[in-house]
């Protein structure tokens, strides 16, 4: 009798486990189906609400979830723009994310030394820590972006994509070279200039203050001589192939990029 009870109980337990497993799979299937059909709209609304409440990290997670699991969502372009804007806002804020570290300033440290050690820029350290000067003190905590940035320029789309590893951090509309003048290949940023003068063939040097200077407020020179990423673009020129070979951005956006990217940053240009 006892043996029958034990066998019966064991069979009942196995049946229960099979039922629970099947129920779990069914719930996951329903969740995936819901996410692809209905839930993206709800998640998008929730992400917008979180963003309006300055819960930026939580909003970013939801935007990424929508992009990853519902790429055909009708509002996906708006979701991407919201994510890119928040990526930049978080990067320039004191909020420490999983891509950052909290660094304790050591005796003898300078912002330049710290930036070199972590392959970042003094400008980014200052902006993300709300520093008004280069003065720092031992024991002070600084947010440091611990990611490697890179750039892909797509000439066919006239776009510049800022990446962290394999993830898209932000996409910018740019102007590229007319008659296919923008070179294709792998390059690095070797020069950074603020308010650059422009050497115009046949006329000589045109100062940064001269309205004829087409370089705008920043210059990121590439390892391909005489080519670079610079400002000066207007709304009419963005998205078009109108330059003599350089990648042209609006001044605010090239200034943003200038703050983020150190010398040595990899730049890939494709047709």
The CATH number of the domain holding residue 105 is 3.10.350.10
pLDDT tens string 64-112: 999 999 999 999 999 999 999 999 999 999 999 999 999 999 999 999 9
Are 122 and 86 found together in one domain? no
pLDDT for 2 beyond 90: no
Is the CB of residue 197 less than 8 Å from the CB of residue 203?
Answer: no
Provide the pLDDT for residue 81. 97
Q: How far apart are CA 129 and CA 120, in angstroms?
A: 14
Is the CB of residue 128 less than 8 Å from the CB of residue 94?
Answer: yes
Q: Region 159-166: what's the mean pLDDT? A: 96
Are 15 and 122 found together in one domain? no
Are 167 and 116 found together in one domain? no
Considering only CA atoms, which of 101, 244, 268 is closest in space to residue 176? 244
pLDDT for 233 beyond 90: yes
Are 153 and 261 found together in one domain? yes
Active site (catalytic) residues: 230, 246
Q: In sequence order, what DSSP letters do the residues of 33-48 get, joined into one string?
A: HHHHHTHHHHHHHHHH
Count of domains forming the chain: 3
Are 113 and 224 found together in one domain? no
> Confidence band (pLDDT; 50, 70, 90) for 181?
very high
DSSP 3-state assignment of 175?
A: strand
Are 189 and 262 found together in one domain? yes
Q: How far apart are CA 208 and CA 233, in angstroms?
A: 15
Domain carrying residue 128: 100-145
Provide the pLDDT for residue 29. 43
Are 132 and 212 found together in one domain? no
CATH number at residue 256: 2.40.440.10
- Note the pTM of the prediction, 2 decimals: 0.84
Are 123 and 188 found together in one domain? no
User: Is pLDDT larger for residue 172 or for residue 203?
Assistant: 172
Q: Residue 120: enclosing H or E segment and its boundaries?
A: none
Instruction: Please list, in sequence order, all residues whose beta carbon lies within 8 angstroms of the beta carbon of residue 267, skipping any fewer than 6 positions away.
Output: 150, 151, 152, 153, 186, 187, 188, 189, 222, 229
pLDDT for 26 beyond 50: no
Q: How far apart are CA 103 and CA 41, in angstroms?
A: 39
Is the CB of residue 165 less than 8 Å from the CB of residue 245?
Answer: no
């Amino acid at each position: 009798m006892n043996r029958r009870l034990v066998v019966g109980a064991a069979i009942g337990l196995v049946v229960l486990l099979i039922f629970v497993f099947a129920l779990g799979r069914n719930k996951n299937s329903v969740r995936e189906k819901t996410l692809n059909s209905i839930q993206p709209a709800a998640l998008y609304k929730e992400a917008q609400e979180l963003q309006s409440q300055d819960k930026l990290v939580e909003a970013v997670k939801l935007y990424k979830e929508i992009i990853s699991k519902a790429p055909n969502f009708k509002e996906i372009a708006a979701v991407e723009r919201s994510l890119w804007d928040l990526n930049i806002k978080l990067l320039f804020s004191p909020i420490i994310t999983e891509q950052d570290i909290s660094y304790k300033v050591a005796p003898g440290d300078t912002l330049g030394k710290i930036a070199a050690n972590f392959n970042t820029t003094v400008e980014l350290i200052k902006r993300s820590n709300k520093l008004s000067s280069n003065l720092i003190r031992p024991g002070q905590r600084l947010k440091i972006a611990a990611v490697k940035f890179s750039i892909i320029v797509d000439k066919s789309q006239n776009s510049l994509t800022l990446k962290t590893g394999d993830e898209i951090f932000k996409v910018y509309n740019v102007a590229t070279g007319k008659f296919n003048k923008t070179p294709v290949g792998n390059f690095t940023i070797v020069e950074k200039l603020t308010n650059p003068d422009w050497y115009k063939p046949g006329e000589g040097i045109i100062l940064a203050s001269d309205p004829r200077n087409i370089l705008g407020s920043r210059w990121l020179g590439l390892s391909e001589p005489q080519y670079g990423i610079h400002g000066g673009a207007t709304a009419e020129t963005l998205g078009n192939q109108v330059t003599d070979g350089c990648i042209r951005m609006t001044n605010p956006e090239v200034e943003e990029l200038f703050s983020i990217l150190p010398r040595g940053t990899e730049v890939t240009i494709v047709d």
